[in-house]
């Protein structure tokens, strides 16, 4: 009874999936040995995240098999990587896809292929179960993330006007998923100021509205509203018109999609293959990775675009690509904290917390009884300069972040330390493209997106922000453009030389 | 307290005497207050009235204490010392009590005994005062005797507190509790009154042995008797073995698979003599195979086919149970139906939870099944509803097993007629991503309780 010496249960854990060492090796361009073998493929895909895997899926689906996908990490999936323990599978980052609207043609095609969309019906068990989201504010939980309790008449008025404005923007058809479909030069002015400035000009900046709009920017872009282009802020709200109560989600998040993609194209994927040089050789390309030189006619560069100047011989440095650093953690709970009269939700957010809250990996279980779970904790380091936050990520040890996470959760779960047995933490220095002011209409970005050479770019950052649908769209488009240029080329052939 | 302080001005004489009596009253009323409240909650409708009355009486008495005390001692000390002493100990006492109460007393002694203990302290103060103010008191002896009597009373209360809370709890369950156990999944309570045994799971009544035959005959026979040549039956839920007892009345049935989450439940109903008498040792039949598993994953991962499926889950009181009433669940369950098979679903009350009942029927429809809803009267439950669901048309059976006490061939058509107060309502289906049923059920019961 509290009179014994205070001692918390030991919590195990470590940093996982660190990749900055490899990133720094690339940046410094040092320590790579010359290739010892040659492999020939018509197409080499660089990067095994959603963009790269979508290129592979598209090529394979069109009957084209003379390609290889090179992934730097042990595990493909990029931001959609997942983990698994004795309790459940869980996501490492991306954990849902909003129910795609009619304009997301390729995503719908993928989901039909994966059995998520059948005869126009979304598979019920892949839609997020009730209750979906909850927000902790003023000492209690409410259903939904948009604040609904304790609003002043001014807050209500601002929310209503925001909704009206969003409705107008949606009706223009210029804000779509994927963004390229609707992008119109008539909206360029919105890319010239920050979302925060736009909201202020519209007098939609009460404390509560400000929290909510900032939360949305942190959630989708890893940035505050003042570091987000107004165009992107509006895109967040206006681009989606779900036809079903979603989103789509799985215990392992978008890792489920990666698993299904790997079932289809896994045999083309080479993991632990860090590409360190791409150069033009006559009419073709040479791609160096590990001990192999891949000779190809085309490269689909699906890795984050900021890496390209370090890899592609003769490529000019890039200026318009900025990325938000993130930290995610998976917490193993071998008992559930007291939930004070609310049903645990899929996504739990705490107002006034600098973090984005947590997602419950067992929420999508079909079981009725759950007594252990895994929470995925999300923290976009949105305040301050990305470079400084990246330094912070690197400099602080696991214990520092563990304590920061537990402190944050203790606000709403005072007994959290008695429930958690393990915290694994993933640090992602360049987690998401940040759609800062000017990023959407950046000439650099738009030129790379429609590059006509033998290197085609496919990462989601070519849309200015990192979401699943954009990655998938870019990946599929790059594959289609390659296919149109290699028409007639058939199945694969690989020659090896000692 | 304000009332008490205000009233103190009207007390002119016999200050010490009245102070002692105030302490005594506080000791007795305060000491027994929480026991009284527990009992009032269990046995009467007047809990709130009593609670406010007690708050006012105790508050008034406490409010009288300080003014009287200050006036009693004002001649002994300077005014500033009186104020300083009295208020110092008043505040310190308040601090001590407010810390002791939540940290030590309530967790270790419970509410009833904590109140008794504080009562004893008050009576001791009264007793002490008879010594302190002996000169100002006329009948010291009599007061001291009253103090001792009250101390004894409170002492007995302290010793018997457990029995008071049990008496109160017993009355909440109305009958004598003969078995209570917290399992990993639920709180199982069995009560008995004369020959009536009742089962409560997490405080929800599951059956009363006096009329459960009505429920279980109605659950099984209208459906099972309409299946031509049934051989294999699946029961989801129903860990009490009572549905299985009814199914065993069909000798042609070769195997019954029962899937229930809680092994404690099926073990209890396989071993407890009173309960095996009730289910006629149905779990001991060699035809019965019990699997302790979560129903949805089991249904989802198995491929066995059955001629009759009984879905008898607790009511959809929360989102976890609500998953077992969704289109996704019924689709998964229906995959186990043989060509001529029928399914029957416990569907709450079409009378008290009319929205919920028709929501379940709609959910079955949206899962691609034809539905045939019916209802029965079970005295301990009230009007209760079921839905037969199938890929084919359902026709009333023309014969039933021998020896049924409630369901009869002649009585069957009436079960499928719904009077206007229970007739169909348009409801959306219950889906995993939009559990309208749990909300409707919550609202239905809110509407008829206070």
CATH of the domain at A402: 3.90.660.20
User: Mean pLDDT for chain B?
Assistant: 92
For an interface test with B, the pick among A125, A127, A131, A243 (most B C-beta atoms closer than 10 Å) comes out as A125
Range of weakest confidence among A129-143, B126-140, B146-160, B432-446: B126-140
Condensed to tens digits (0 to 9), the pLDDT of residues A5-37 reads: 556 679 999 999 988 888 888 888 777 888 999
Over range A451-466, report the average pLDDT: 95
Looking at the structure, do residues B267 and B378 belong to the same domain, yes or no? Answer: yes
Residue A461 lies in a domain: yes
Q: Cα dihedral sign for B294, B300, B302, B304? A: positive
Same domain assignment for residues A161 and A229: yes
Q: Which residue of B has its CA nearest to A248?
A: B433
Q: Give a yes or no: residue A498 inside a domain.
A: no
Domain match, B360 and B413 both = yes
Nearest to A125 among B108, B324, B432 (CB): B432
Instruction: Answer for the pair B368, B407: CB distance below 8 angstroms, yes or no.
Output: no
Q: Is the pLDDT of residue B38 over 80?
A: yes
Comparison of pLDDT for A258 and B85, the residue scoring more: A258
Residue A25 inside a domain? The answer is: no
Res A493 pLDDT > 60: no
CA of A369 vs chain B CAs: smallest distance (Å): 7
Alpha carbon separation from A134 to A140, A167, A348, A356, B151 (Å, rounded): 10, 24, 5, 12, 52
pLDDT at position A484: 94
pLDDT of residue A244: 86
Is B435 within 8 Å of A1 when comparing Cβ atoms?
A: no
Confidence of residue B428 (pLDDT cuts 50, 70, 90): very high
pLDDT at A139 over 60: yes
Interface of chain A toward chain B, CB-CB under 8 angstroms: 1-2, 124-125, 127-132, 244-246, 343, 365-371
Which residues of chain A have a CB within 8 Å of the CB of B301?
A: none
pLDDT band at B170 (very low <50, low <70, confident <90, very high): low
In a domain, A92, yes or no: no
Domain extent at residue B157: 2-172
CB of A442 closer than 8 Å to CB of A465? no
Domain edge (last residue) among B154, B172, B190? B172
Q: Which CATH number goes with the domain that contains A196?
A: 1.10.405.10
Which residues are CB-contacts of A469 (< 8 A; sequence separation ≥ 6)? A97, A98, A100, A104, A107, A177, A178
| pLDDT-above-70 percentage for chain A | 95
Chain B residue with CA closest to A123: the answer is B328
What was the pLDDT predicted at A274?
Answer: 94
Which residues of B fall within a CB distance of 8 Å from A365? Answer: 297
Question: Is pLDDT above 80 for A210?
Answer: yes
* Domain range enclosing A350: 323-433
Please indicate, yes or no, if residue A398 is contained in any of the structural domains.
Answer: yes
pLDDT tens for B210-228 read 999 999 999 999 999 999 9
Kindly list the residues from chain A whose CB atom is less than 8 angstroms away from the CB atom of residue B433: 124, 127-130, 132, 244-246
Beta-carbon contacts of residue B392 (< 8 Å; ≥ 6 apart): B339, B340, B370
Looking at the structure, tell me whether residues B221 and B107 fall in a common domain.
Answer: no
A-chain residues near B319 (CB < 8 A): 129-131, 343
Q: Do B287 and B352 share a structural domain?
A: yes
Does one domain contain both A335 and A455? no
Same domain for B380 and B251? yes
> Could you report the per-residue pLDDT of B298-328, keeping only the tens digit for each?
999 999 999 999 999 999 999 999 999 999 9
Decide if pLDDT at B404 tops 90. Answer: yes
Which residues fall within 8 angstroms of residue B156, CB to CB, at 6 or more apart?
none
Residues A217 and A108 in one domain: yes
Q: Residue A494: which pLDDT band, with cuts at 50, 70 and 90?
A: very low
In A357-492, which ranges are continuous DSSP H helix?
386-395, 398-410, 416-419, 443-449, 468-485
Residues of B with CB under 8 A from a CB of A: 103, 107-108, 184-185, 261, 294-297, 300, 318-324, 326-328, 431-435, 438
Q: How far is residue B246 from each of residues B36, B68, B282, B295, measured CA to CA in Å? A: 46, 74, 9, 21
> Pick from A128, A245, A367: which is nearest to B296 by CB?
A367
Query: If residue A136 lies in a helix (H) or strand (E), which one and from where to where?
Result: strand A133-137
- Average pLDDT of chain A? 93
Chain A neighbors of B102, CB-CB under 8 A: none
pLDDT band at B135 (very low <50, low <70, confident <90, very high): confident
Residue B168: pLDDT band with limits 50, 70, 90: confident
Are B260 and B315 part of one and the same domain?
A: yes
CB contact under 8 A, A368 and B103: no
> Mean pLDDT over residues A395-418, rounded?
95
Percent of chain B residues past pLDDT 90, beyond the cut: 68
From A370's Cα to the closest Cα of chain B, the distance in A is 9
Asked if the structure places residue B184 within a domain, the reply is: no
Mean pLDDT to the nearest integer, A179-199: 97
Bigger pLDDT: A412 vs A338: A412
Say yes or no for a CB contact (<8 Å) between A369 and B261: yes
pLDDT band of residue B194 (cuts 50, 70, 90) is confident
Q: Give me the mean pLDDT over the B261-280 stretch.
A: 94
The pLDDT value recorded for residue A461 is: 97
Q: Find out whether A327 and A379 touch, Cβ atoms under 8 Å.
A: yes
Query: Looking at the structure, do residues A303 and A419 belong to the same domain, yes or no?
Result: no
Whether the pLDDT of residue A498 is over 80: the answer is no
B151 and B230, same domain (yes or no) = no
pLDDT in tens, B92-101: 988 988 888 8
Same domain, A203 and A142: yes
Chain A neighbors of B297, CB-CB under 8 A: 365-367
User: Above 60 in pLDDT, residue A489?
Assistant: no
Please tell me which residue of chain B has the smallest CA distance to A128.
B433
Query: Among the three residues A208, A223, A246, which one is the final residue of a domain in this structure?
Result: A246
Has residue A52 been placed in a domain?
yes
Poorest-pLDDT segment among A1-5, B116-120, B314-318, B375-379:
A1-5
Q: What does the pLDDT look like over A62-110, one tens digit per residue?
A: 999 999 999 999 999 999 999 999 999 999 999 999 999 999 999 999 9
CATH number, domain of B377, equals 3.40.50.150
User: Where is pLDDT greater, at A82 or A2?
Assistant: A82
Residue B438 and residue A130: Cβ atoms within 8 Å? Answer: yes
More confident residue, A54 or B87: A54
DSSP structure string for A183-204: --GGGGGGGSSBHHHHHHHTT-
Q: Which residues of A touch B108 (CB under 8 A)?
A: 1
Say whether pTM exceeds 0.90. Answer: no
Structure confidence at residue A127 (pLDDT): 97
Say whether both A158 and A103 belong to one domain.
Answer: yes
Collect all residues with Cβ–Cβ distance below 8 Å to A131 and sequence separation of at least 6: A143, A343, A345, A346, B319, B435
Task: Please indicate whether residue B312 is annotated as part of the active site.
Answer: yes
Q: A298 with A363, same domain?
A: no
Q: Is A428 helix (H, G, I), strand (E, B) or coil?
A: strand
In a domain, A181, yes or no: yes
B193 within a domain of the structure (yes/no): no
Residues B349 and B284 in one domain: yes
Q: Are residues A177 and A303 in the same domain?
A: no
Per-residue model confidence (pLDDT) at position B101: 82
| Cα-to-chain-centroid distance, residue A34 | 34
Are residues B167 and B251 located together in one domain of the fold?
no
Residues A197 and A200: their CA atoms lie apart, in Å, by 5
Put simply, the answer to whether B300 touches A366 (Cβ < 8 Å) is yes
Q: Nearest Cβ partner of A369 from B185, B327, B434?
A: B185
CA dist., res. A415 & res. A417, Å (int): 6
Q: A112: part of which helix (H) or strand (E)?
A: helix A105-113
- Pick the residue from chain A with its C-alpha nearest to B104: A1
pLDDT score, position A6: 52
Task: Calculate how close chain B gets to A420, using CA atoms only, in Å.
Answer: 20
* A397 and A340 assigned to the same domain: yes
Same-domain pairing of A219 and A164: yes
Structural domain contains residue B185: no
Q: In this complex, do B318 and A245 lie within 8 Å of one another by their Cβ atoms?
A: no
Dihedral pair phi/psi, residue B235, rounded to 5°: -120, 120
- Write down the number of H helices and E strands in chain A: 15, 21
Clarify whether residues A69 and A173 are in a common domain. Answer: no
Pick A125's closest partner by Cβ from B185, B319, B328: B328
pLDDT the model gives residue B173: 66
pLDDT interval class at A492 (50, 70, 90)? very low
The answer to whether position B182 is within a domain reads no
The residue among A216, A246, A276 that closes a domain is A246
User: Is B261's CB within 8 Å of A245's CB?
Assistant: no
Number of structural domains chain B divides into: 2
Q: Tell which residue, A63, A43, A124, A482, has the closest CA to residue A264.
A: A63
Same domain, B412 and B279: yes
Write out the E strands in A179-291. 248-249, 269-270, 275-281, 284-289
Of B172, B200, B220, the domain-final residue: B172
**In the predicted structure, residue A491 carries a pLDDT above the cut 50:** no
Total structural domains in chain A?
A: 3
Q: Are B321 and B395 contained in the same domain?
A: yes
Residue B86: per-residue pLDDT:
85
- pLDDT > 90: what percent of chain A? 87
- A448 and A310 share one domain: yes
When pLDDT is cut at 50, 70 and 90, the band that residue B47 belongs to is: confident
């Amino acid at each position: 009874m509290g009179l014994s010496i205070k001692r918390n249960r030991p919590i195990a854990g470590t940093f996982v999936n660190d990749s900055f060492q490899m990133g720094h090796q690339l940046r410094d361009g040092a320590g790579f040995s010359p290739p010892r073998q040659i492999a020939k493929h018509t197409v080499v895909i660089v990067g095994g995240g959603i963009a790269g895997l979508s290129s592979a899926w598209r090529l394979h689906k069109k009957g084209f098999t003379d390609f290889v996908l090179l992934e730097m990490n042990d595990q493909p999936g990029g931001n959609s990587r997942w983990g698994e323990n004795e309790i459940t599978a869980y996501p490492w980052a991306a954990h849902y896809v909003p129910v795609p609207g009619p304009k997301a043609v390729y995503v719908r095609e993928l989901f039909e292929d994966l059995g998520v969309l059948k005869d126009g019906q979304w598979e019920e068990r892949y839609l997020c179960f009730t209750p979906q989201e909850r927000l902790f504010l003023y000492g209690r939980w409410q259903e939904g993330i948009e604040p609904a309790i304790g609003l002043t008449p001014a807050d209500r008025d601002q929310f209503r006007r925001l909704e009206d404005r969003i409705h107008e923007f949606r009706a223009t058809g210029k804000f779509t998923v994927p963004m390229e479909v609707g992008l119109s030069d008539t909206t360029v002015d919105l890319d010239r100021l920050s979302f925060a400035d736009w909201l202020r000009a519209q007098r939609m900046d009460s404390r509560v509205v400000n929290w909510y709009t900032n939360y949305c920017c942190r959630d989708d872009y890893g940035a505050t509203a003042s570091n987000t282009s107004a165009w992107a802020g509006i895109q967040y709200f206006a681009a989606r018109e779900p036809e079903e109560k979603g989103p789509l989600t799985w215990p392992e998040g978008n890792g489920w999609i990666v698993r299904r993609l790997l079932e289809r194209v896994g045999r083309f994927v080479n993991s632990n293959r860090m590409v360190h040089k791409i150069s033009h050789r006559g009419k073709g390309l040479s791609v160096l990775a590990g001990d192999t030189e891949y000779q190809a006619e085309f490269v689909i560069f699906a890795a984050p675009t900021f890496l390209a100047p370090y890899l592609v011989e003769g490529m000019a440095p890039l200026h318009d690509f900025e990325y938000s650093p993130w930290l995610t953690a998976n917490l193993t709970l071998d008992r559930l904290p007291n939930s004070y009269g609310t049903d645990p939700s899929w996504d739990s957010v705490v107002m006034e917390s600098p973090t984005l809250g947590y997602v419950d990996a067992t929420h999508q279980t079909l079981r009725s009884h759950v007594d252990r779970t895994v929470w995925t904790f999300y923290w976009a380091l949105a305040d301050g300069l990305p470079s400084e936050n990246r330094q912070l990520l690197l400099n602080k040890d696991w214990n520092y972040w563990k304590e920061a996470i537990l402190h944050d959760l203790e606000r709403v779960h005072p007994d959290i330390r008695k429930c958690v047995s393990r915290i694994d933490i993933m640090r992602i220095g360049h987690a998401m493209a940040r759609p800062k002011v000017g990023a959407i209409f950046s000439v650099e970005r738009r030129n790379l997106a429609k590059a006509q050479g033998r290197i085609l770019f496919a990462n989601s950052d070519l849309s200015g922000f990192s979401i699943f649908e954009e990655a998938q769209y870019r990946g599929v488009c790059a594959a289609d453009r390659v296919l149109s240029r290699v028409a007639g080329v058939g199945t694969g052939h690989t020659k090896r030389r000692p | 307290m304000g009332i008490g302080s205000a009233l103190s001005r009207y007390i002119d004489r016999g200050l010490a005497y009245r102070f002692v009596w105030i302490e005594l009253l506080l000791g007795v009323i305060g000491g027994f207050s929480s026991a009284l409240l527990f009992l009032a909650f269990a046995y009467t409708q007047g809990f709130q009235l009593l609670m406010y009355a007690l708050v006012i009486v105790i508050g008034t008495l406490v409010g009288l204490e300080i003014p009287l005390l200050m006036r009693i001692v004002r001649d002994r000390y300077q005014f500033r010392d009186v104020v300083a002493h009295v208020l110092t100990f008043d505040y310190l006492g308040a601090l001590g009590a407010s810390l002791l109460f939540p940290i030590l007393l309530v967790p270790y002694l419970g509410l009833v005994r904590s109140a008794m203990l504080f009562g004893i302290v008050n009576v001791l103060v009264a007793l002490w005062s008879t010594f302190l103010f002996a000169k100002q008191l006329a009948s010291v002896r009599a007061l001291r005797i009253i103090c001792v009597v009250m101390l004894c009373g409170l002492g007995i209360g302290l010793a018997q507190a457990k029995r008071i809370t049990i008496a109160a709890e017993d009355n909440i369950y109305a009958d004598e509790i003969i078995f209570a156990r917290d399992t990993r999944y639920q709180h199982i309570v069995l009560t008995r009154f004369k020959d009536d045994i009742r089962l409560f799971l997490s405080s929800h009544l599951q059956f009363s042995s006096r009329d459960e035959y009505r429920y279980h005959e109605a659950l099984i026979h209208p459906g099972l008797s309409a299946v031509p040549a049934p051989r294999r039956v699946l029961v989801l839920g129903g860990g009490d073995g009572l549905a299985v007892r009814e199914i065993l009345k069909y000798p042609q049935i070769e195997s019954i698979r029962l899937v229930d989450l809680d092994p404690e439940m099926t073990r209890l109903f396989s071993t407890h003599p009173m309960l095996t008498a009730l289910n006629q040792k149905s779990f001991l039949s060699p035809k019965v195979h019990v699997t302790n598993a979560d129903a949805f994953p089991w249904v989802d991962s198995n491929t066995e086919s059955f001629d009759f499926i009984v879905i008898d889950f607790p009511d959809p009181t929360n989102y976890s149970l609500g998953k077992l009433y969704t289109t996704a669940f019924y689709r998964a369950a229906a995959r186990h139906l043989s060509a001529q098979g029928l399914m029957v679903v416990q569907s709450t009350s079409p009378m008290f939870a009319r929205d919920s009942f028709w929501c379940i029927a709609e959910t079955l429809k949206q899962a691609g099944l034809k539905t045939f809803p019916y209802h029965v009267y079970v005295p301990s439950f009230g009007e209760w509803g079921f839905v037969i669901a199938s890929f084919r048309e359902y026709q009333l059976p023309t014969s039933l097993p021998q020896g049924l006490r409630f369901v009869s061939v002649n009585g069957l058509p009436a079960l499928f007629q719904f009077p206007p107060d229970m007739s169909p309502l348009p409801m959306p289906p219950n889906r995993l991503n939009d559990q309208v049923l749990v909300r409707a059920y919550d609202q239905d019961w809110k509407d008829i309780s206070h």
